[in-house]
Amino acid sequence: MKNLIIAVAVLALFAGMATARGPQEADRVLYDGQKTRGDVVWYDDMETGAPGWTTGDDSAQPIYWHIDSYMAYSGNSWWCGDLSITADGGYGNSWTQYLTSPYISWAGYSYPVVTYAFRNDSEPAYDFSYVEAESMGAFIPLNRGYDGVIPWGTAGYYLGNKDQPAKIRFTFISDAAWSDADGLYLSVGGAFAVDDVLVMDYTTGTTLFFDDADANVNLIPSVPGASGNYWAVMSNNCKAYSNSHYWGCTFPDTTAVPANLNCWVASPLIDISNYACVQGCTLYFVNQMFMSGAYGGSWQEWGTADGGANWTRTGWWYGHQCQFGSGPYGPCDQFLTTMPLVYPGNPYNGTLVGMKIVMLTDGLGNGCDQAACPLGYCSSGMNFDDTWIEVTECPNPVEDSSWGKIKSMYR
């Protein structure tokens, strides 16, 4: 799990600078209501129902656990990875993948154990592979989570202290950044593979369950169902900058963000074609950050300058203003965030511009900030309110040169 810290910063201008994993200081400041850096071409304070905004849920994912001979332990192995991602096999961001046994009973046996062969290659300290056993209706990790590069080896755990009959589950969870898919962490045959899964009574040697991914195939791959879209216009005087309404992504009680989210909210597409030449176009929004350091979660910011045909990720952030070490920021403070839509390398083509915010959480979700913020201000996730777009026209070369010089003589 990440040790999350606040990223109080202007968003990166280019896709190659999109991911932030630490504190920075730049143009994200406590908002004082000042704007007008350019022409304001669109403004929404969320008090009229946020017309033109859209939301969606992209959390459904395919199953990547499969039987494969690639880099197998013996014959075939179960592999949570994909050769279509990189030539030597890899994994993607925001995966939650399960490989689960049927119910197994060890009634009448005194020393049940599970043994297995495994290998792992995942981003250290962020992407983990777990071995779990069901106990009292919940899956309990047997290991602390495999990460980094671990070659094929074997491991085993005692099961007699767990409720039974029980299921054994192998789970891989990746966070929202740094994997083979974005090229920021390059694994070889990542992320997780298992073979020769055996549940036996150690005292008598009796086999209770076995899967070798060859003649004996009894494990079942699965993924969580779609997590749902929790973006909504909400009302709260602390979280809203103006009046009482704002965009939020939480459970209805606003105290937690669900697990495995990949849901987004997008602004209307704004027509700025009346500008003959656009030098810069920047979107601003006022937001709060409730991403507790004890929980996973992040949000991405995307912009389009061609009517939605292409989107560029301009920022990737996580943080918690009540835990920001150089504070002092409180639960109701508001921050101004800048988001470039038109800039060198992402030119305007005379159509429409817009923004999208994507909320991402891991398999645990994002919990309440009560431990760090004052009593009565428990919240979670990222909230935003007043949003506007400002346009800067290209300089007029005639006006700025010869005519400008002539006119200056008569002023």
- Which pLDDT score, from 0 to 100, does residue 34 have? 61
Query: Higher pLDDT residue, 185 or 394?
Result: 185
**Alpha carbon separation from 109 to 167, 202, 205, 274 (Å, rounded):** 17, 9, 10, 79
Query: Which of 69-73, 256-260, 313-317, 351-355 has the least mean pLDDT?
Result: 256-260
Reported confidence tier of residue 150, pLDDT bands at 50, 70, 90 = very high
Residue 143's pLDDT band, with cuts at 50, 70 and 90, is very high
Sign of the torsion formed by the C-alpha atoms of 240, 246, 248 and 251: positive
Among 199, 266, 254, CA closest to 230: 254
Rounded Cα gap, residues 23 and 28, in angstroms: 12
Q: Does residue 163 carry a pLDDT above 80?
A: yes
Mean pLDDT of the chain: 82
Determine the Cα–Cα distance for residues 357 and 265; give it in Å rounded to an integer: 5
Kindly tell me if the per-residue pLDDT of 3 is higher than 50: no
Q: Of 171, 204, 222, which residue is a domain's last? A: 222
pLDDT at 78 exceeding the cut of 50 = yes
Q: Would you say residue 372 has pLDDT above 50?
A: yes
Retrieve residue 170's tokens. Answer: 């192998």
- The answer on 287 and 325 residing in a single domain is yes
Same-domain check for residues 304 and 371: yes
Nearest residue to 384 (alpha-carbon basis) of 349, 358, 410, 353: 358
Higher pLDDT: 231 or 351? It is: 231
User: How is residue 91 annotated by DSSP?
Assistant: -
3-state DSSP call for residue 121? strand
E-strand stretches of 242-344? 245-249, 262-266, 270-271, 278-290, 298-304, 312-317, 335-342
pLDDT digits (tens, 9 = 90+) for 99-141: 999 999 999 999 999 999 999 999 999 899 999 999 888 999 9
Residues 177 and 244 reside in one and the same domain:
no
Comparing 62-66, 72-76, 308-312, 398-402, the range with the smallest average pLDDT is 398-402
In a domain, 408, yes or no: no
CB-based burial, 51-78: b 16+ in 10 Å, e otherwise: eebebeeebebeebbebbeebbbeebbb
Mind spelling out the 3-state secondary structure of 162-188?
CCCCECEEEEEECCCCCCCCCCCCCCC
Q: Are residues 214 and 239 in the same domain?
A: no
- Residue 171: give its domain's CATH number: 2.60.120
Helix (H) and strand (E) counts for the chain? 2, 24
Greater pLDDT, 20 or 280: 280
Lowest mean pLDDT, pick from 41-55, 145-159, 177-191, 295-309 = 295-309
Q: Give 203 or 257, the one with higher predicted confidence.
A: 203
Structure tokens that stand for 344 in this block? 């060198």
How high is the pLDDT of residue 17? 24
pTM of the model: 0.70
Residue span of the structural domain in which 343 resides? 15-59+229-393
How many structural domains does the chain have?
A: 2
CATH number for position 297: 2.60.120.200
Which residue do the tokens 């969320």 mark?
Answer: 46
CA 184, 186, 189, 195 torsion-angle sign:
negative
